[in-house]
Amino acid sequence: MLRSRFEVDEDYDSPLEEIISRYDAIVIRSATKLTAAVIERAKLLKVIGRAGVGIDNVDLDAATRRGIVVANAPDSTVVSAAEHTIGLLVALARNIPQAHAALKAGRWERTRWGGVELADKTLGVLGFGRIGRQVARRALGLGMRVVGYDPFVAPERFRELGADHAEAAEDVFGAADFLTLHLPLTDDTRGFVGVDAIARMRDGVRIVNAARGELVDEAALADAIRSGKVAGAALDVFSAEPYEGELLGLENVVATPHLAASTEEAQDRAGVIVAEQVVAALDGGLVTNAVNIPVVGAEDLEVLGPYIPLAAKLGRLAVELAGGQPRRIALSFHGGIAGHDTRLLTVAALNGAFQGRVEQAVNYVNAPVIAAERGIEVSEQRSQAARDYLNLVTVVVDEVEVSGTTIGPEHRQFLAGALGFAIDLQLSPRMVFFRYDDVPGVIGRVGTMFGEARVNIANMAVSRTKEGGKALMALAIDSEPPADLVDRIRGEGFDDAQFITLG
């Protein structure tokens, strides 16, 4: 595919920093490191194609600053990963590896390694993205009942597949005979299956993890298996790899060395997909698997550029304030920016909304696809009239609305409205929002609590509907609040108190 269109060199020996300046595109695998120093020498480079999923070997920031599109092949492993998950599921239910090992060792242990059927059992699927859906489809074909949880997938998507939709992960824990994990790894999901989660599960549950090792508290899982609370586990991934921990010593644990994506078809598919991405980038087409900001027209970028990070932060803020499970996202743009192609701002807001909440890397190209796959309605409106600001970006997630603008030559990002209140506060990495009855003493009480917890308030803004009505207080804070401060504030009688990290 590439040779039919371009002059292609294959080089396995030359130092990259010596040859990179010759090329418009480069295709790499995981062993090749494209550091900032190498990228700095890439004077002609327009696209980096990573023939695989992970992009840890590419300095994304350096590539983005140079306007180089980085594309990978995220769909290349979906089928392989789903099939491996089902393989682990069957192996776990029927003790196939243990029986195989015994027979190879000369022991005929037919009675010892009897198992259980999958038919009519309930499979809990945590994470209903591409891989989770493929696993669910195959499990349904095995006669299993499937119940799934994913806060970013509309209930209709579960029903269309024939699976039951759970409102919360706890509902899955209580229903599942078998549990499979397909969540993205974030601060919220790290150690997701731990002591508390296991305590909520059925006795005798069996757990499969071919997603991310750190989703599971391995020590807690080992204890639960030894106690009999968990009947067994099948694991392809671990918190540290190569893994040599205690789980390998438990006879009812099935383990593979991170093989989910290791099929000939997945590797071939990765090559084809990334070649298509390189062709699109060099021929001016749509790079559907770009993992950084795509190249845009110079005229639009000059005007819209400062509003891209603003829109992303407003998207994240609106989703957090709305509780993290959007069904509808509406964007509106007012002022001079409305005269440009604001779809770039819409996908920036979606990128912020989905970042860290879905299993695949989110970018400015695939964010609309992610929304469509999850049944989230996305709309956009533009008006060149702006009453209070030269330019204003508004994001509405379900019933929660936030708006913002940029100020000054540095394009500082300011919040202009939130939760039905007009408010003026610079957006910061850590923010806190309180809604409460407008009575004297609240500001002082909040300041005292934060001061006693040694958390500095960088900025504060207060707004109210009317005197004696409802009020909104928004804070920007310098450090992560300790857990006891969060608990204390939430027990102080506010309508709500939300701590939000915008990054």
Which residues partner with 51 through β-bridges? none
Question: HSE of 17 in the Cβ direction (CA atoms, 13 Å)?
Answer: 5
pLDDT bin (cut points 50, 70, 90) of residue 302 is confident
Query: Looking at the predicted structure, is the pLDDT value of residue 97 above 60?
Result: yes
pLDDT bin (cut points 50, 70, 90) of residue 347 is confident
Query: Looking at the predicted structure, is the pLDDT value of residue 364 above 80?
Result: no
- Range with the poorest average pLDDT among 50-59, 107-116, 148-157, 354-363: 354-363
Of residues 146 and 362, the one with the higher pLDDT is 146
62 three-class SS = helix
Pairing of strands 391-397, 328-335: antiparallel
- The mean pLDDT value for 379-393 works out to 89
What pLDDT sits at residue 294?
Answer: 55
What pLDDT sits at residue 361?
Answer: 64
Q: At what angle do helices 96-104 and 78-94 cross, to 10 degrees?
A: 70
Tens digit of each residue's pLDDT (9 = 90 or more) over 2-55 = 999 999 999 989 999 999 999 999 999 888 999 999 999 999 999 999 998 878
- The mean pLDDT value for 168-196 works out to 95
460 three-class SS = strand
Q: Which helix (H) or strand (E) holds 371?
A: helix 367-373
What is the distance between the alpha carbons of residues 56 and 54, in angstroms, rounded to a whole number?
Answer: 6
Positions of CATH 3.40.50.720 in the chain = 1-74+263-295, 116-255
Looking at domain 116-255, its CATH class is alpha beta
Token digits for 259? 């093989």
How distant, in Å, are the alpha carbons of 295, 303, 388, 396 from that of 341?
14, 10, 22, 19
Question: What global pTM score does this model have?
Answer: 0.75
Tens digit of each residue's pLDDT (9 = 90 or more) over 231-249 = 999 999 999 999 999 999 9
Token digits for 266? 């997945």
pLDDT bin (cut points 50, 70, 90) of residue 365 is low
pLDDT bin (cut points 50, 70, 90) of residue 297 is low
Long-range contacts of the stretch 3-12 (C-beta < 8 A, 24+): 5/279, 5/282, 5/283, 6/282
CATH fold group of domain 1-74+263-295? Rossmann fold (3.40.50)
CB atoms within 10 A of CB 251: 13
pLDDT bin (cut points 50, 70, 90) of residue 82 is very high
- The mean pLDDT value for 289-307 works out to 74
What pLDDT sits at residue 486?
Answer: 86
What pLDDT sits at residue 78?
Answer: 94
Of residues 199 and 293, the one with the higher pLDDT is 199
What pLDDT sits at residue 378?
Answer: 94
Q: Return the residue matching tokens 């929002």.
A: 433
- The mean pLDDT value for 354-366 works out to 74
> What is the set of active-site residues?
212, 241, 258
- Percentage of the chain exceeding pLDDT 70: 97
Of residues 498 and 490, the one with the higher pLDDT is 498
48 CB contacts (<8 Å, ≥6 apart)?
A: 25, 26, 28, 34, 58, 63, 68, 69, 70, 71
Alpha helices (runs of H) in 149-292, residue ranges in sequence order: 155-161, 169-175, 195-200, 218-227, 264-283
Query: Looking at the predicted structure, is the pLDDT value of residue 284 above 80?
Result: no
Q: Return the residue matching tokens 């300095």.
A: 59
Q: Edge-to-edge strands of the sheet including 412-418?
A: 377-383, 328-335, 391-397, 400-407, 412-418, 421-426
- The mean pLDDT value for 301-323 works out to 91
Using the Cα atoms of residue 212, residue 214, residue 220 and residue 222 in order, give the sign of their dihedral: positive
- The mean pLDDT value for 424-450 works out to 93
Of the candidates 234, 453, 413, 449, the one whose C-alpha atom is nearest the C-alpha of residue 316 is: 413
Of the candidates 34, 25, 28, 33, the one whose C-alpha atom is nearest the C-alpha of residue 2 is: 25
What pLDDT sits at residue 277?
Answer: 93
Of residues 43 and 66, the one with the higher pLDDT is 43
What is the distance between the alpha carbons of residues 149 and 152, in angstroms, rounded to a whole number?
Answer: 9
Query: Looking at the predicted structure, is the pLDDT value of residue 293 above 70?
Result: no
pLDDT bin (cut points 50, 70, 90) of residue 288 is confident
